[in-house]
Amino acid sequence: MSQACRFVLPSLVAIMLAFTACGDDKSEPPAVTEPESVSDSTSAIESTSTTSESTTTSDGTSPADITVSKLTGFTSPTGNIGCIIDRRTVRCDIRERDWKPPPAPAGCQLDYGQGISLSAGEAPDFVCAGDTTADAGQPLPYGQSIAAGLLRCESEESGMSCRDVETGRGFSLAKGGYELF
């Protein structure tokens, strides 16, 4: 993700536009609408959700509890982690943490290390942004997962984990630590 992008954004819609626009310019940013929250999109989720205890996806994981097709916001049950996800990108920000992120790149003139983003097919990276996804939506209960396209996040008592199910790349974010994989 290019660290030269400089912006301050007032809404989650602008967040998705900005952090996809700050990418490596490989593709056009997605069409973005106002993000749904997990509970506000129940009827849409019911029509697109797949739940089956015996079914697995091509990578051997079970289907997500919630499947969405447009920008959707959600938080950890504690509210310490807020995320937004669509078919191309997921970003999670954390309010309180007991760890320090790596040093900000020279080109980052905004906040750095408050969040991590992952675009489908790419490696995760820390966010350089003047905005936050902390209040993105309703809580995703522990043990539940949400997916959009190849991206999938799981809410766990230990934190939030998101990954690209095709490449296996992703991140875990928690008050006690983080991992990029």
Residue 137 contacts residue 73 (beta carbons within 8 Å)? yes
Match 């630590």 to its residue by tokens: 177
Contacts 24+ apart (CB under 8 A), 141-144: 141/77, 142/77, 144/65, 144/66
Neighbours of 161 (CB within 10 A): 19
**Residue 58 reports pLDDT greater than 50:** yes
CA atoms 2, 26, 171, 72: torsion sign: positive
| Tens-place pLDDT, residues 139-167 | 999 999 999 999 999 999 999 999 999 99
Sequence ranges of the domains in the chain: 12-176
Q: pTM higher than 0.85, yes or no? A: no
| Tens-place pLDDT, residues 111-123 | 999 999 999 999 9
